[in-house]
Every structure is written in C-alpha cells, then in structure tokens.
A and B are shown apart, each in its own frame.
Chain A
C-alpha cells in the first residue's frame, strides 16, 4: 500500500506541473499589455511599469518566469498583488469559506440525494420514482445561476425569509441555501447514481442468496445491498468536495460569499495575475490530493481492490 501511494504521488507531480504551467501561460504569456486598465483610463506611469516588470519577472521568458514563481511557491510565498497585498494571506482568508460552503453542499446533496435514490431504487417504477426522475432532470437542466437567482429573489427579496446575501464571516447556517444551490446539480446526479446502483445491485446473485438464506428483509437491504451500492456513490461524493471548491464562482458571486471563487473572479477582472495563478495552484493541489484519498478509500470500501 505504501508503495502504491508513493507511486501515485510521483505520478501527480507531472500533472501538477502541467496544470499549473498551463494556467501560468494563459495568465501571463498571452500577447498584449498586462497592465491594461490597471491604472484607470490612463496608461500607467513608466516607473510603475518598470518596477512591476522587474518584480514579476516579465522580461524573462515564460519558462523562467514559471520556475521562479514555483520556486517562491515552495517557500510558501504566493507573491503579491499589484497593490502589494500578500496573495497568500488573501487565499488563506478565502479558502476556509469555500471549504465550508463545499462541505455544506456535499452534506445536503448526500442526505437528500442518497435518500431519494434509495427510496426510488428499491421501489422501482411508480409515482415517487417518476417524481424524483423529473425533478432531478430539472435540476440537471437548470444552470446554477438561474437556480441561484430564482432562490435568492424569491426567498430573499420577495418573501424575505432569509438574508439574500451572506455575511463576511459566513457562518454555517448562512451557507445552507447557497450550499443547496451549489450542490443542486450534483444532488440530482447523486440521487440518480444511487437509484441506478441500488436498482442494479438489487438483482445481483448475492441478493438472491441472502433471500434464500432466509435473512430478514431489513438486513438484506441494510447489510447486503447498501454496502455494495454505496461504493460508487461515496466515491463521487468524495471527489465532489474537490470539484465544488473550484466550481463555486457563480454561487459565490450571487450570494456575496467571500470565498476562493469570488477572489479569483475579481482577480481576473482586475487582471491580478498572481491571485489567479495562486488560487489555481491551491485548487489543483486540493483536487489531486482529494482524488488520491478517494482512490485509497476505494480499497477500504471494496475488498476486491487491493493495491500492492
């Protein structure tokens, strides 16, 4: 098992380098003036340009720039914005918020999605089944910003049940609605995945055996069926935490959440390249680590998989 982890970590390195280099190139190496619009409508003063060029190594070619950046990164230095704010600090403030949001979203989608999936998977065709299928279809089809907008307007402005935006501390309770919006697409998917998994495993041979053994129904479902059906669902939920952290830009924008998504979006609009690259580096690390953890967990869930 240890050797497997080591091997996977080594495999991650080229991918990490590849993705971060890619985004680095996209942000810094595209032709055009990187300082457009930075100083308002007028072009920036030459001393400013000279100082910035020096600071961000803009005269070096891309690869050198990248290496210098990566070098600094290894010491924990994410660089600074044009207005000399340390990017590392900004990220450290925003990341926990996004993490909390992602956790809330995954929790909601897990509870609702899995329950719906189990009920419909066991029961088969019927009213509940059709209801769930249709509603999940809707959730899949509605773009997140539409869902978010509608909920914010209806619940927040019209009916005034909830505060339409989230405060800067972003308490857990405030994150429930945004979490629901963020996770709505995945929730639809989780319920379908659970439903399919249960419906398929329901007809497996070992289920027939359990029945023939005279085991009570609640054990046949609760012990035999669930454990087997859970495997793909848990795997998905795990990776979703990583995905949702990086994919919350729209939700954070609509609800005013000061998370990583908003940080990077503002960074792009304001052309703060260091913020963009810094956030992406963080997200890539999270994504790769989460995937590795899920892979390892898979071996725990399914004894047929053993890594040597």
Chain B
C-alpha cells in the first residue's frame, strides 16, 4: 500500500470541539479531534456508535444542525484554508467540488421522487452550468464508471428501483460529479451484505487511486479497515485516542481501547471459548467521566487514570496514543 506522498495534507481537522445543547444538558460530542488526510491516501476513522465520527464528518462538510450543535473550538483546514472562518459562499463552493461525502443508507440519502440521473445532473447543471444534454451524457459516464450495468437505462430510474449495492454505487457516482479532491465515506458499507461490501470497498479504492483522492473512511468495522486503510485514527468519546499506520495498529495496538477492540474480534483459532467483550457501555456524552474517558472500562486502569486526562504520547513514526501507559502497552509483544 502506498503511504501517500509526504506533501501537505489536503484536509486537516485540528482540535475540533463541538457541543450539542439539549434540554437534558450539554453533550460534549467532540473534545479536541485532530486528524488529517493527504492526496492519494486512505485514512480510516474507527470507533463505536456515539464516538463522534459522523459528527466530525458533518462538521467538515458544514452540515451540522446548528442549533443544537455548536462548534466551540478548533479549525478545519482545506488546502490550508480554515473553512470555519470563511464566508458561506466559499464554504458552499468547497462542498462537493473540494470535499464530497457519501452516506450510509443510500435509500434515504437519495431523494425518492427524482430519478438518479436528475440528482447527478443537477450538480453538473447548477454548479457547472452544463447543458441538459451534456449533463445527461456525463451522468451516464459516471454511472458507467462505478460499474452500474446498463447505465443509459438506469439513469432514468428512481432510487427505489435499484438494489442496495447499486444504490451505493449511484451515490458514489453522484459524489464524484464535480471531481472532488477529498471523499468522506461515512459507513458506506454498513447497510450492505458482506459480498457487496467487498465490491464497494474495491470500487472506492480503485477510484481513489485513479484520481489521487484523499479518502476518509468512517467505520466501526475492523475487517473493512484492514483491507483498505493506510492510516487509522481510533475515536472514543469524542476524541482521537490513537493514530497509527494500519500495519502497526493491527500488529501492536498502542491504546487499551484499540487492544480491546482487536481482542473482541472473533477468530477461527478461538473456537470453543467465550468471546471477549469490552465490559460496560460507552459513556453518555452528557456526563463524560473525569480523567481518561475510557478508564471505567479499561483493564489496565489505575487511580491516576480517573483524575488525569492523558495527553498524546508519541510512539515513533507518527504514532500517538492518549494513554498514560501507552509505551508499556506497545512494548508488550
């Protein structure tokens, strides 16, 4: 796997803080999220439901529901430009042209009353000023690109007439219409069955390589990540607890949470013994535990963990981990 060039990152999230102000209190959904992606590389953002991965993606796109969500700190830089500080017009220009996103459930993400062709073409016509005919031709090309058979006929069909996998492909085609440099895929395969998952992931990878895009893959599925990711950022309770390249992460996790995730994967050579789980539940974001947010569930926790918030510990080669005992964990083989 190509690690990507060592050029400047295309997209950088730095120290992002987001709160959700609800009737029941303030939920601290993102607590200093930092990650980046370069051209030609795939970053996987790994985490459970509620860890904040989708919220980060939506914050990048600028589509958070602004009450109740409030961005309270940090920067989101695209080619060095802080998107949180630019005009609405500029922000909108970046959408789909610079950074595009595809969602988990293509059936609800696509408008049910318009044809797939219409929804792709409107990008071309409205934002690029293409004529109807040109837009139609390009839409068919895009559907071809994502390997939808019979594209010319399909372009006139409605989303509900597609199968799950094909719908996802259509959504991918739509996201590529304006040739974006960064593609965020928010749980793109979670709603699909396993064989289709593999096809979609292959497609994404292929497209990424061909166009030298930066791909941010948001998922909770360790299996999917292993095939595709160059680097991985693990999220928990609204912060990144570990950054590492894919190989090192799997071989030698540097954070107890990552280690526990790896452990909980069912393995063929474990037949006959009980499955490992992580005890407890993720914390409510209204009441994040003091100190390290993972400490109530951590097998390695000590008294210090319930009082001191861990900072990033550098583990060499760009790896970091937010654990007081990161170095010890890594040196255990």
Asked if A and B are interacting partners, one says yes
> In A85-126, which residues have CB < 8 Å from any B CB?
none
A206 touches B108 (CB 8 A): yes
**Complex alpha-carbon distance, A23 and B85, angstroms:** 71
**Complex alpha-carbon distance, A303 and B105, angstroms:** 19
A303 touches B112 (CB 8 A): yes
Closest to A204 in B: B108
Contact code string B55-68 (vs A, CB < 8 Å = 1, else 0): 00000010101000
- B110: chain A residues at CB < 8 Å are 206, 209
A208 touches B109 (CB 8 A): yes
- B92: chain A residues at CB < 8 Å are 214, 216
Closest to B122 in A: A215
- B126: chain A residues at CB < 8 Å are 215-216, 219
The reply to whether the CB of B111 lies closer than 8 angstroms to some CB of chain A is yes
The reply to whether the CB of A227 lies closer than 8 angstroms to some CB of chain B is yes
Contact code string A210-254 (vs B, CB < 8 Å = 1, else 0): 111111100100011001100000000000000000000000000
The listed residue (B96, B97, B112) touching A206 by CB distance below 8 A is B112
B97 touches A214 (CB 8 A): yes
**Complex alpha-carbon distance, A203 and B66, angstroms:** 12
With A205-B103, A209-B103, A212-B61 as given contacts, are A304 and B112 in contact (CB-CB < 8 Å)?
yes
Pairs A–B under 8 Å by Cβ, sample size 23: A205-B108, A206-B110, A206-B112, A209-B110, A210-B111, A211-B63, A211-B95, A212-B96, A212-B100, A213-B96, A214-B92, A214-B93, A214-B95, A214-B96, A214-B97, A214-B178, A215-B122, A215-B127, A224-B111, A227-B114, A302-B112, A303-B112, A304-B158
B111 touches A228 (CB 8 A): yes
Spell out B's residues near A (CB within 8 Å): 61, 63, 65, 92-97, 100-101, 103, 105, 108-114, 122-123, 126-127, 158, 160, 174, 178
Minimum distance in angstroms from B148 CB to a CB of chain A: 18
The listed residue (A203, A205, A216, A223) touching B109 by CB distance below 8 A is A205
**Complex alpha-carbon distance, A301 and B110, angstroms:** 17
The listed residue (B63, B114, B160) touching A208 by CB distance below 8 A is B63
- B112: chain A residues at CB < 8 Å are 206, 228, 302-304
- B178: chain A residues at CB < 8 Å are 214
- A224: chain B residues at CB < 8 Å are 111, 114
- B127: chain A residues at CB < 8 Å are 214-215
Closest to A304 in B: B160
Minimum distance in angstroms from B112 CB to a CB of chain A: 6
**Complex alpha-carbon distance, A271 and B61, angstroms:** 71
Closest to B67 in A: A124
**Complex alpha-carbon distance, A216 and B127, angstroms:** 9
Per DSSP, chain A at the interface is helix
Minimum distance in angstroms from B16 CB to a CB of chain A: 18
B95 touches A213 (CB 8 A): yes
**Complex alpha-carbon distance, A224 and B114, angstroms:** 9
Spell out A's residues near B (CB within 8 Å): 203-206, 208-216, 219, 223-224, 227-228, 301-304
B63 touches A303 (CB 8 A): no
B108 touches A213 (CB 8 A): no
**Complex alpha-carbon distance, A206 and B100, angstroms:** 15
- A223: chain B residues at CB < 8 Å are 122
B174 touches A213 (CB 8 A): yes
**Complex alpha-carbon distance, A275 and B24, angstroms:** 63
- B108: chain A residues at CB < 8 Å are 204-206
Closest to B61 in A: A212
Q: Could you list 14 further interchain pairs (A-B, Cβ under 8 angstroms) beyond the known A213-B96, A214-B96?
A: A204-B108, A205-B108, A206-B110, A206-B111, A206-B112, A209-B111, A210-B111, A212-B61, A212-B101, A214-B94, A215-B122, A219-B122, A228-B111, A302-B112
A209 touches B160 (CB 8 A): no
Residue among A206, A208, A212, A224 having the largest count of chain B Cβ atoms under 10 Å: A212
- A303: chain B residues at CB < 8 Å are 112-113, 158, 160
- B158: chain A residues at CB < 8 Å are 303-304
**Complex alpha-carbon distance, A219 and B108, angstroms:** 19
**Complex alpha-carbon distance, A227 and B65, angstroms:** 22
The listed residue (B65, B93, B105, B123) touching A213 by CB distance below 8 A is B123
**Complex alpha-carbon distance, A219 and B126, angstroms:** 9
- A203: chain B residues at CB < 8 Å are 65
Minimum distance in angstroms from A214 CB to a CB of chain B: 3
Minimum distance in angstroms from B230 CB to a CB of chain A: 24
- A216: chain B residues at CB < 8 Å are 92, 126
Minimum distance in angstroms from B173 CB to a CB of chain A: 13
**Complex alpha-carbon distance, A215 and B100, angstroms:** 12
Minimum distance in angstroms from B167 CB to a CB of chain A: 12
With A205-B103, A219-B126 as given contacts, are A212 and B114 in contact (CB-CB < 8 Å)?
no
Minimum distance in angstroms from B175 CB to a CB of chain A: 8
- A208: chain B residues at CB < 8 Å are 63, 103, 109
Closest to A216 in B: B126
**Complex alpha-carbon distance, A303 and B156, angstroms:** 12
Residue among A210, A215, A216, A224 having the largest count of chain B Cβ atoms under 10 Å: A215
**Complex alpha-carbon distance, A214 and B109, angstroms:** 15
Minimum distance in angstroms from A136 CB to a CB of chain B: 25
- B65: chain A residues at CB < 8 Å are 203
**Complex alpha-carbon distance, A277 and B114, angstroms:** 46
**Complex alpha-carbon distance, A203 and B105, angstroms:** 15
Minimum distance in angstroms from A259 CB to a CB of chain B: 37
Closest 10 CB pairs of A and B: A214-B95, A205-B108, A206-B111, A214-B96, A303-B158, A209-B109, A213-B96, A205-B109, A211-B63, A214-B92
Minimum distance in angstroms from A298 CB to a CB of chain B: 12
- A215: chain B residues at CB < 8 Å are 122-123, 126-127
- A302: chain B residues at CB < 8 Å are 112-113
Closest to B120 in A: A213
**Complex alpha-carbon distance, A210 and B96, angstroms:** 10
- A219: chain B residues at CB < 8 Å are 122, 126
Closest to B91 in A: A214
